[in-house]
Amino acid sequence: MQQQQAEAAGGAAVYGFLTAVDSPHHGLFGGYLVVDGLGRPLEFHCTAPVKVTRAQQILYGPTLHGHLHGQQIGGALLAESKATPAVVLTDHEAMLSVRQHTKLPVALVKPLVGEAATGFVVGASHVTPHASDAADAGAIRERLAALAGAVELGEPFERIRAAIEEAQRH
C-alpha cells in the first residue's frame, strides 16, 4: 500500500474524510478533510456547488449518484489533495464509488446501530470497506483503531459540514 511506503519513509499516518452536503438553494457541495493521527486538520478541499439538471437525472437514472458523488465530486477533491491518507472515510454511501477513481482504500463509516452484516466496528462507528479493499480490511481496521483512540470517526464529518455552511454564508 502507498501508505505503508509513506510510513516506511518516516511520514506519520494521515486520514481522509470525504462527504457531501446538499443545499436546497445552491446544490451539492463536496468536502474533503485530511487530518493527522490526533485529528488535527492538515488539508481541506471543497467544491463549488454542483446542480443536477432534470435531463441528467433522467439520463443517468439510478447511476446518477454514484457518478456525481464518486467521480465528479469525490474524484475532483481527491485529485487536489497532496496527502496520501491511510484510508479515505466517507459517511455517504454514494461516495464509495470514488474508489474507482483512486488507488487509496475507501471505507464507509456509519454510527454503530445494532449488528451489521459486513465490515467491522471501530469505537462508536461501523466501518465497511469498499469491495475492492475487502482483502485489506484487517490493515484498515488496525489503522483506524489508532485514529479512533484520538478521534471519534464520525466527528470530522461534522467539521466539514460546519466549514461548508460557513462557506455558504461567506
Partner 1 sequence: MTPNPANGVRSIRHDDLVIAADVRPWGNPTLPRPPALRLPVAGRTPTLVRIDPGFSRPRVASYHFTPPVAALPPAAPRTARPTIAVDESAGSVSPAPTAGRTRIAPPRDVVKLSEKFFYLLQPDLQTMLHAGRLEFPRKPFPFQLDGMAFLVPRHSAVLADEMGLGKSMQAISSIRLLVRSGEARRVLVVCPKGLVSNWARELADWAPELVVAVIEGDQLRRRWQWSLADVPVKLANYEVLVRDRDLVAQLGLSFDLVVLDEAQRIKNRWSQTNQAVRGLDRRRSWALTGTPIENSADDLVGIFEFVDPGHLNERMTPRALGAAVSDQILRRTKDKVLKDMPPRLNRDERIELGPEQRETYRRAEEEGVLRLSGMGDEATIQHVFELVLRLKQICNFDTATGESAKLDCLQAELEEVQASGRKALVFSQWVETLGRLEISLARFGALQYHGGMSTAARDEAIRRFRQEKRHSVLLLSYGAGAVGLNLQFAQYVFLFDRWWNPAVEDQAINRAHRIGAAGAVTVTRFLSAETIEERIDEVLRRKRDLSEAILSQAGEPAATGLTADELFALFRLAAPRAGGRAAAA
Residues that bind partner 1 (CB under 8 A): 30, 33, 35-36, 38-50, 55-56, 59-60, 67-68, 72-73, 76-77, 79-82, 123-124, 145-146, 148-152, 155-156, 158-160, 162-163, 166-167, 170
- CA 153, chain centre distance (Å): 11
* Residue 130: all three cell numbers together: 469498499
Virtual torsion, Cα 37, 41, 43, 47, nearest 10 deg: 120
Nearer Cβ to partner 1, position 46 or 88? 46
Shortest separation between residue 27's beta carbon and partner 1, angstroms: 9
CA 91 from centroid of its chain's CA atoms: 7
Please report how close the Cβ of residue 59 comes to partner 1 at its closest, in angstroms: 4
- Contacts of 60-66 with CB under 8 Å at 24 or more apart are 65/94, 66/94, 66/97
| Shortest reach from residue 153's CB to partner 1, in Å | 8
Cβ 113 to partner 1 shortest distance, Å: 13
Point out which residues pair with 27 in neighbouring strands. 23
Pick the closer one to partner 1 by CB: 54 or 135. 54
From the CB of 89, what's the least distance to partner 1, in Å? 14
Nearest residue (CB) to partner 1, 27 versus 136: 27
Q: Are 153 and 89 in contact (CB under 8 A)?
A: yes
Of the candidates 79, 2, 72, 88, which has an alpha carbon nearest to the alpha carbon of residue 45?
79
C-beta closer to partner 1: residue 30 or 105: 30
